[in-house]
């Protein structure tokens, strides 16, 4: 058992193979320090910060008090596509280890943990390093380079704490009786995805006794807050690269303007602050069904509300993907094509 161990990496994304290596190292050191670095060439489809990665590891290791998480912008590892491409600069490596040792106040007997096939584990290299090297078992079923290049294709390998930052939120919006909620459930079942329900409808049931008769201007802020939390929770427990959202803040704003005759500044702030990744807008060209909670059923009212949605989207520089098929199954197929293309990167 070593007193102090050190692991260094990008962890972008954190995957199960890396976690198993961390656990192997943690079993050999009384205290394990993990240093997370910014990736020099991050994936263009995902905005991952150093703090995101720190949170993943901090949460994953929350019940392992002997694991300490650190971040640094000052130390960089060379970018490569595989260990065979790596040439070790001994002097530069020792200088980096020295800076980390001093920054973390590590004892002189601290050891560096690397995988068995890591270039630093080769005898002609580690014998020249200023810190002893200890290896962790290989995790051959996890290809870190392939996972980093295409996290969506390797979804099952991602650590659960990282998945919330690699799922894409897709909001299904439209006027009343446009088939949003049914489509949400169909898409969630098709992709095995987490989803967030329409918060306005839930709020009417929980806070207004099941009828919109008591709905007023002051309700739109809590509706938006609850919806933001529902989206956050759905993404955090993401079971697929896509997370489906029933309606969005633009829809909440449209109802506020329709019923109250004015724009709600808090809802406007939510539209800008809590952006979904993609929006699918359903044309209001399906039959209107009165379910006891809908009030915009005339052709004039439906057209007016749809135009209001379009105007608010434009106001906030949001470009929704339009689904205009009047047949329910056809619009379901349209939605699948859009998600396959924009989330899964499939060509039709």
Within a domain: 306: yes
Same domain, 34 and 145: yes
| Domain end (from 151, 182, 208) | 151
| 47: containing domain | 2-151
Domain count, the chain: 2
Note the pLDDT of residue 76: 74
Q: Tell me the pTM.
A: 0.89
CA 297 to chain centre: 37
**DSSP collapsed to 3 states, the chain:** CEEEEEEEECCCCCEHHHHHHHHHHHCCEEEEEEEEECCCCCCCCCCCCHHHHHHHHHHHCCCCCCEEEEEECCCCCCCCCCHHHCCCCHHHHHHHHHHHHHHHCCCCCCEEEEECCCHHHCHHHHCCCCCCEEEECCCCCCCHHHHHHCCCCCHHHECHHHHCCCCEEEEEEECCCCCHHHHHHHHHHHHCCCEECCHHHHHHHHHCCCCHHHCCHHHHHHHHHHHHHHHHHHHHCCCCCEEEEECCHHHHHHHHHHHHCCCCHHHHHHHHHCCCCEEEEECCCCCCCCCCCCCCCCHHHHHHHHHHHHHHHHHCCCCCEEECCCCHHHHHHHHHHHHHHHCCCCCC
CA dihedral 121, 159, 143, 8 (to 10 degrees): -30
Same domain, 194 and 75: no
Write out the chain's pLDDT in tens, 348 residues.
Answer: 999 999 999 999 999 999 999 999 999 999 999 999 999 889 999 999 999 999 999 999 999 999 999 999 887 766 666 655 666 778 888 888 899 999 999 998 999 999 988 878 787 777 788 899 999 999 999 999 999 999 999 999 999 999 999 999 999 998 877 788 999 999 999 999 999 999 988 998 899 898 888 999 999 999 999 999 999 999 999 999 999 999 999 999 999 999 999 999 999 999 999 999 999 999 887 655 555 555 565 768 888 889 999 999 999 999 999 998 888 899 999 999 999 999 999 875
Same domain, 180 and 61: no
Same domain, 71 and 27: yes
Within a domain: 334: yes
Same domain, 262 and 331: yes
């Amino acid at each position: 058992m070593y007193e102090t161990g050190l692991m260094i990496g990008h962890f972008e994304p954190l995957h199960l193979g890396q976690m198993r290596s961390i656990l192997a190292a943690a079993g050999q050191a009384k205290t394990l320090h993990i240093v997370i670095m910014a990736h020099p060439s991050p994936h263009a489809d995902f905005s991952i910060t150093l703090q995101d990665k720190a949170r993943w590891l901090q949460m994953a290791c929350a019940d392992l008090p002997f694991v300490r998480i650190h971040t640094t912008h000052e130390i960089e590892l060379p970018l490569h596509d595989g260990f065979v491409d790596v040439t070790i600069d001994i002097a530069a490596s020792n200088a980096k280890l020295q800076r980390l040792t001093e920054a973390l106040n590590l004892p002189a007997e601290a050891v560096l943990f690397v995988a068995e096939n890591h270039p630093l584990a080769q005898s002609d290299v580690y014998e020249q390093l200023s810190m002893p090297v200890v290896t962790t078992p290989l995790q051959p079923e996890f290809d870190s380079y392939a996972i980093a290049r295409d996290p969506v294709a390797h979804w099952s390998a991602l650590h659960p704490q990282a998945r919330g930052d690699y799922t894409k939120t897709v909001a299904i919006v439209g006027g009343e009786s446009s088939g949003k909620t049914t489509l949400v459930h169909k898409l969630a079942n098709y992709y095995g995805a987490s989803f967030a329900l329409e918060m306005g409808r839930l709020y009417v049931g929980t806070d207004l006794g099941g009828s919109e008769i008591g709905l007023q201007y002051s309700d739109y802020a809590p509706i938006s807050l609850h919806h933001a939390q529902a989206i956050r929770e759905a993404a955090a427990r993401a079971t697929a690269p896509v997370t489906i959202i029933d309606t969005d803040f633009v829809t909440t704003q449209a109802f506020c303007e329709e019923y109250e005759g004015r724009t709600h500044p808090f809802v406007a702030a939510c539209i800008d602050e809590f952006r979904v990744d993609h929006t699918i807008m359903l044309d209001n060209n399906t039959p209107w069904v009165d379910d006891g909670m809908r009030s915009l059923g005339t052709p004039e009212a439906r057209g007016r509300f749809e135009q209001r949605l379009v105007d608010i989207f434009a106001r906030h520089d949001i470009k929704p993907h339009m689904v205009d098929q009047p047949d329910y199954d056809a619009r379901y197929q349209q939605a699948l094509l859009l998600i396959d293309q924009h989330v899964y990167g499939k060509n039709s």
